[in-house]
């Protein structure tokens, strides 16, 4: 069983880091009142205000922030300010033993998927795929359900996703249990062939993305297929694919046809429509936690991510 990080308590201090691109500082500032509402204090990483091209500081600076936040016993959890690009540039230098010895809440999504996958592989800890401070929390569009998802950090709770949250569609029938893994499809595909290649064996694979046309999603799913990742998985949780309408190609397959082609004939449960990803509301989930996907009754149940 994976290590579950300790739950948060009011008065705890959260570390805020920018592992990839520079965050929108105005939106980050607006998000801080939400942390205060939760009863949390916060400490900014040194690279939060750094700008190094499309990165929030050099690889060394961003890596140092990550290591310092995990090593500091006064930091109870880490929430990413935003994603963008760059998390994969220093993954081979991460001290995974430090994370294994000092497990704590690590929360983010999008480009942060590369870090989630690496930590799940080499630190054996549960991490959290959820909305980030500058990218989501600091925007006026941040919804109430997205706020409530942070409560899973304060109390071990089973998460239940049904059509009460959003309409769901069966792509393939069946019921499967296994660890929930995955995240942003682009980042999962970019890890194939590296030592941070996602392990899907017997697991429920979550996929989501933004701004990727059907032919691009097709290519990434084909890469996972040819790497054996789809055959190995127990089932598929298809999250939000925002802004996926064809633009470059006048004639296109639909995203539904792409999902049906790759996931509809594997004899494994697959359900689409989950509001997980670049969307509002954003249903935050613990990666590495045990879960059950019931494609016949259109439900997903996930065990608690904290202890």
User: Which residue among 208, 212, 213, 282 is the active-site one?
Assistant: 208
Q: Is 208 a catalytic residue?
A: yes
Judge whether 282 and 249 are in contact, CB under 8 Å.
no
Using DSSP bridges, classify how beta strands 285-287 and 127-129 pair: parallel, antiparallel or unpaired: antiparallel
Q: Which tokens belong to 2? A: 């994976």
User: Which residue among 21, 87, 110, 146 is the active-site one?
Assistant: 110
Q: Which of 166, 158, 190 is nearest to 292 (CA)?
A: 158
Q: Which tokens belong to 22? A: 């520079």
Q: Is 67 a catalytic residue?
A: no
Judge whether 164 and 277 are in contact, CB under 8 Å.
no
Q: Is 172 a catalytic residue?
A: no
Q: Which of 41, 93, 29, 84 is nearest to 65 (CA)?
A: 93
Q: Which of 295, 285, 304, 299 is nearest to 180 (CA)?
A: 285
User: Which residue among 116, 129, 278, 282 is the active-site one?
Assistant: 278
Q: Which tokens belong to 179? A: 């660890």
Active site residues: 110, 208, 278
């Amino acid at each position: 069983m994976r290590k579950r990080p300790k739950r948060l308590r009011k008065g705890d201090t959260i570390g805020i880091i920018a592992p990839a691109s520079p965050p929108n500082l105005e939106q980050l500032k607006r998000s801080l009142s939400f942390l205060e509402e939760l009863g949390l204090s916060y400490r900014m990483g040194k690279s939060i205000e750094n700008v190094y091209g499309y990165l929030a500081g050099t690889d060394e600076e961003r890596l140092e922030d990550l290591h310092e936040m995990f090593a500091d016993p006064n930091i109870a959890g880490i929430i990413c300010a935003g994603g963008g690009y760059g998390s994969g540039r220093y993954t081979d230098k991460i001290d995974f033993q430090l994370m294994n010895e000092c497990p704590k809440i690590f929360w983010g999504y999008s480009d942060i998927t590369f870090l989630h996958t690496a930590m799940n592989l080499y630190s054996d800890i549960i991490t959290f795929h959820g909305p980030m401070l500058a990218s989501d929390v600091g925007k006026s569009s941040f919804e109430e359900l997205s706020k409530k998802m942070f409560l899973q950090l304060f109390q071990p709770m089973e998460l239940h996703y049904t059509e009460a949250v959003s309409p769901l569609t069966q792509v393939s029938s069946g019921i499967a249990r296994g660890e929930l893994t995955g995240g942003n499809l682009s980042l999962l595909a970019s890890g194939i062939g590296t030592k941070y290649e996602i392990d899907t064996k017997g697991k429920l694979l979550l996929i989501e993305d933004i701004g990727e046309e059907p032919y691009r999603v097709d290519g990434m799913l084909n890469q996972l297929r040819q790497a054996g990742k789809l055959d190995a998985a127990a089932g598929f949780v298809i999250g939000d694919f925002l802004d996926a309408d064809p633009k470059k190609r006048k004639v296109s397959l639909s995203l539904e046809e792409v999902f049906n082609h790759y996931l509809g004939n594997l004899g494994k449960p697959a359900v689409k429509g989950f509001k997980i990803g670049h969307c509002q509301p954003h249903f935050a989930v613990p990666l590495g936690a045990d879960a059950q996907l019931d494609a016949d009754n259109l439900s997903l149940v996930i065990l608690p991510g904290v202890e």
